[in-house]
Amino acid sequence: MRLKNSYFYTLKENAKDEDSVSSNLLVRAGYIKKSSAGVYMMLPLGWKVMKHIEEILREEMDRTDCQELLMPALIPEDIYVASGRRAGFGDSMFSLKDRKKQSYVLGPTHEELFAQAAKMKIKSYKDMPFSLYQLETKFRDEPRPRFGLIRTREFIMKDAYTFDVDEKSCDASYLKQYNAYKNIMERLHLNYRIVKADTGIMGGLLSEEFQAISPRGEDTIVLCSNNDLSSNIEVCPCVPEKPDHREEEKELTLVHTPNSGTIEEVTDFLHEPAKKFVKTLIYNIDGRPVAVMVRGDREVNETKLQKFYGAQSVELADAATVEEVTGAKVGFAGPIGIKCEVIADEEVLYMQNFVVGANKTDYHYQNVNLKDFKLDGHGDLRNIMEGDTCPKCGGKISFAHGIEVGNTFKLGTKYSKAMNLQYLDQNNQLQDVWMGSYGVGVARAMAAIVEQYNDENGIAWPADMAPYQAAIVLIAPKDETQSALAETMYQALQKNGIDTILDDRDARPGFKFKDMDLIGIPYRITVGKKAADDLVEFKVRGSDTSEDLTVEQAAAKVRELLDASIVHVDHQGEPHD
């Protein structure tokens, strides 16, 4: 690409309305531009990287004998009602009516349509296994679109679906996809972890997330010092901390705690550690209030809470509801005398002489014990914390943060049951088809790479992921010797199969160097005064040194370095970790 007459721009200033490193860099470097909240234009540089990621995805899917197709994005709402998922998606589904007032949605994920398509082929056990995939735009009206391409409302997903006769065969198909996902993450140069996760609205028997490690990732990954655990915090079981000895139960006392509505305020006021308190949080669970108790220094895990009730929706209750069930201002809820169901994290069952809100503004109870209130249920309802005991081996828990780039689901027969996807077995009996589903967000993958590969000068792409591998910076475009050598260099690189930028703009050299660093071109070839001796200056992005080479040497060098940077992996056939 010759820059002079091409669509290319960079911005000097940080983007004001971007809240992540990757989105700021991608916007500044002219890869993307925000169109509306959570919706982006993919400009030529961005689209080039996207296409490369898509190529890797296609290659890996094709290696598993998965066949590509394309489903519509505009889907009759009925089929999500039939599968039982319409209500679960709620407002996160974009829905619309056509001129005949028929209801449609814009597809957020396509299990239902793929099950419909599979029905066309499946009659008997002989018709499986097979698998299908697509690269298509998904729509989700996310409540909080943020971090640029990481959480958008419109995004391209590579989604694949497998169809099998029974669990054993489904496991084999799952494993093929799982290994393909490992290949994908490695070919994208991502530092990643595979973690056990919630099956969420997808449902099914197993969910594993492919998380790109990033300090700013939205997901908390739970790891163990003995390396035998890798779980999303959403589903990681907790071991309750038990006291070393039983205390004598003291007498329940009401204490005046003026203006101490938060745990920090009340621990300060009563000079007791947070571990001596029990927080009571009022939740709205499918429209009804429930008080949830956890130790003062713990957090309620809403995924576990939702599972505990098998609920569609779980959210903190609004102030009016809290005031109604407690009869007090927000901040003084407790289990004694509250007007709603009360459940507790099981750790609370081991606590004695603790402090709770008194359901009376500015008051708490001290020396509370289990006999002082009615508990309607208990379970593992909290988030695990760093330093806690590993539920598997007793090791010590630590956290990492990740960006979920891919997710694999062993769905079982959930959708085939709902959508009547059945086959005749060897004994002529009708059986449900076993399904799996597998997704990668293409733009989110691009953002995750940028989050992991950047420096103070801009994006530092792994060489083969950059939109262009080499940039020729022509110092004096009006100098005939220089421009002729730059042209020869350009041809030589192209002949070697290297995607190249020829920066022939009339601008200062420093300005051009900065731009090439910002957009992240791995190899820079400067054509300046030494052109008179038929020499160019070769430099790797981020290196302090450069070398003078001939055109042929420079082209060969770029080819050699680029080849060395491409990851070759083949996890096919490996057992599940």
User: Which residue has 């002219």 as its token pair?
Assistant: 30
Residue nearest Mg ion, Cβ-based: 407
Q: Is 151 in the site for ligand ATP (CB under 6 A)?
A: yes
3-state secondary structure 316-335: ECCHHHHHHHHCCCCCCCCC
Which lies closer to Mg ion via its Cβ, residue 289 or residue 439? 439
Size of the site for Mg ion (CB under 5 A): 1
Q: At what angle do helices 442-452 and 21-28 cross, to 10 degrees?
A: 100
Selected range binding Mg ion among 63-71, 275-283, 407-415, 531-539, rule: CB under 5 A: 407-415
Q: Does 211 bind Mg ion (CB under 5 A)?
A: no
What track of x and - describes contact with ligand ATP for positions 59 through 98 (by CB under 6 A)? ----------------------------------------
Beta carbons of 434 and 166 less than 8 angstroms apart: yes
Q: Is 404 in the site for ligand ATP (CB under 6 A)?
A: yes
211 binds ligand ATP (CB under 6 A): no
Q: Write down the residue that tokens 């994005």 correspond to.
A: 73
**Nearest distance from C-beta of residue 51 to ligand ATP, angstroms:** 17
Which residue sits closest to ligand ATP, CB atoms considered? Answer: 441
Q: Please say which residue, 218 or 547, places its beta carbon nearer to ligand ATP.
A: 218
**In 3D, which of 275, 265, 223, 143 has the Cα closest to residue 396?**
223
| Contact criterion met (CB below 8 Å) for 313 and 299 | no
Q: Does 444 participate in binding ligand ATP (rule CB under 6 A)?
A: yes
Contacted by 405, from ligand ATP, Mg ion, none: CB < 5 to 8 Å by type? ligand ATP
Quick one: what does residue 406 bind among Mg ion, ligand ATP, none, with the CB cut-off 5 to 8 Å set by partner type? ligand ATP
Binding mask 406-435 for ligand ATP (x = CB under 6 A): xx----------------------------
Burial of 9 (0-12, 13-18, 19+ CB in 10 A): exposed
Select from 23, 109, 407, 488 the one that contacts Mg ion (CB under 5 A).
Answer: 407
C-alpha 192/C-alpha 445 separation (Å) is 11
Q: Which residue type does 395 have?
A: G
Measured distance CA(47)–CA(31) in Å, rounded: 8
One-letter identity of residue 278: V
Shortest separation between residue 9's beta carbon and ligand ATP, angstroms: 25
Q: Does 173 participate in binding Mg ion (rule CB under 5 A)?
A: no
Give the separation between CA 232 and CA 245, rounded to whole angstroms.
33
| 142 sits near ligand ATP (criterion: CB under 6 A) | yes
CB under 8 Å to 469, separation ≥6 — which residues? 463, 498, 499, 500, 521, 522, 523, 558, 562
Q: What does the alpha-carbon distance between residue 159 and residue 223 come to, in Å, rounded to a whole number?
A: 28
Applying CB under 6 A, does 559 fall inside the site for ligand ATP? no
Site residues (CB under 6 A) for ligand ATP? 109, 140, 142, 151-152, 155, 157, 404-407, 439-441, 444
Contact residues for Mg ion (CB under 5 A)? 407
